[in-house]
Structure 1
């Protein structure tokens, strides 16, 4: 049985509305760390078997949680669990740093970069490019209804990176004024499709129509080794405004043909052949 302290972390993950797959993977690894401190022997082994199911169930669309559950062993040895969880946390940190270095080379001074939602990988690319002395501006969709874009705006303001926030409805209008599109991903399917915040597909279409290169920043643990695009389960959250039910699917799926490349810690991959 999963201890109550660990279940609280899982509930926190389920309740999160702003941060995406990288944060989820980090919190999941921290849950395993805590588990290794609380249990040992057969109790630990039973809890780990339950975690194999519970971690992906937090959000079945996110490949990072699926890969975390595969990465962690089912064992009665708490030291092995601790070392594997720490290794995963280290991989998250190293991957983000490498993505920042690789992705920043795509940015030139004078660029106008459009993005959608909040991605810690995208933030790392922007931050690294800015630290290299490149001067650019970022266009951020507000990303309704959870407004993740406003969270990104707060981070860019803290870093003194110029930006402007637009409503989601102006996405097509501002795409053609941009020189580069950069988004994150919660899942890259086995056949090379991108699962990200709903609206990403529309941005990709707008960029395709206007000739703006569209890139995705995603750590390799967001690449799903088994799932194809037609099998992706898109989560819908209850949402209403002024008494009316509003359909609210969290993610959409962007075909690989609209993606110039996927920036990973392994390099820039061209979908689907290099996935």
Structure 2
């Protein structure tokens, strides 16, 4: 079975973080399924469905923590599965999968706009905001507040070891927003001048815990110490349905050479291990509100979002596994 080259290319870019950010990862995964459906040379619906399952498996294997990825695959593949089991012919199945992918991408992009609208209302004129990593949802909130005429300034942490903070700092600055760029370890030092913390999320659990880029939990803890509001901007497809059944979120461990260059690490004593977790877990008690496209909720209401969005469908086999 041969997948189209674009699927392999997108999977590789997600895996090596050329495509980064939970929302962009999700949209890219949906796009990969769309391209497979569009360019497939399958002769029957059965052949196309096998290809789509193979593509979904490949994409699912690339990043274990960002739940937006499997949720994007579920959105498209469940609709394809219903059509396939309903005996759709080749062109009907192709049409349904392409449409589902386009619908997911559209809804995802509109979600950022809605989150920005809800979040900007929580920003006050003159606020100094601290943010971490590179979240389109969080950036959207700050841009909308700026568009609304609010005089804000943003403290951006560098976000080692992949330096995603540089992307955030440049994007905000190019938009005209004043930015202060600081090393990660300076977050507590500058928290005393911070009015609000706005960050994104890769996953949100049933109890409202936030899984996000490593360093997020420390910033949230420091904010709580200083009685600074912590707001998490996240689309509902980042809520993790399996956690309702007690499944733990896997924290991705990345290549140690992201921290220490390979040539340097080779000269180190062999009894030094370099650990490079990509994410950490922020307890719900360190988060004040979660801003979604459906509105602003307290962390303990995450379970309601999960029930509304996913029901209990996730108890069944994944559509690319059966």
- Which bracket does the TM-score occupy, shorter chain normalised? over 0.9
Corresponding residue number in structure 1 for 2:315: none
Figure out how many residues of one structure are paired with residues of the other and give that number: 275
- Distance in 2 between residues matched to 1:5 and 1:173, nearest whole Å: 45
- What pairs up with 1:255-270 in 2 under 5 angstroms? 255-270=283-298
Q: Deviations over 1:207-257 (max 9, x none)?
A: 011100001000010011122687111111122424245321000000111
- Deviation of the 1:50 alpha carbon: 2.0
- Greater gyration radius: 2
Moved more, 28-37 or 1-10: 1-10
Kept after mapping to 2: 8 A contact 1:199/1:252: yes
Instruction: Give runs of aligned pairs for residues 160-175 of structure 1, distance below 5 A.
Output: 160-175=176-191
Two-structure CA RMSD over aligned residues (Å): 1.6
Superposition pairs for residues 63-82 of structure 1, below 5 Å? 63-72=67-76, 73-74=80-81, 75=84, 76=90, 77-82=93-98
User: What CA distance in whole angstroms lies between the structure 1 residues aligned with 2:302 and 2:160?
Assistant: 33
State the distance in 1 between where 2:177 and 2:38 align. 41
Match of 1:58, SS state, is: coil
* Structure 2, gaps ≥5 residues long: 85-89, 304-322
What is the DSSP-based 3-state SS (H/G/I as helix, E as strand, rest coil) of the residue aligned with 2:166?
Answer: helix
Write the distance in 1 (CA, Å) between the matches of 2:247 and 2:222.
23
Against the structure 1 CA distance between its residues 198 and 17, is the aligned structure 2 distance closer, same or farther, given a 3 Å change threshold?
farther
Deviations 1:50-88 (A, max 9, x none): 234223222111111111121112344110011000000
CA distance in 1, matches of 2:62, 2:48: 20
Deviation at 1:258, TM superposition (A): 0.7
1:43 to 35, 44, 47: 47
Q: TM-score, normalised by structure 1?
A: 0.95
Cα deviation, residue 130, structure 1: 0.6
Give the 5 Å matches for 1:1-275.
1=1, 2-16=3-17, 19-39=20-40, 40=42, 41-72=45-76, 73-74=80-81, 75=84, 76=90, 77-227=93-243, 231-240=248-257, 241=260, 242-243=264-265, 244=268, 245-275=273-303
Within 1, Cα distance between the matches of 2:32 and 2:138? 25
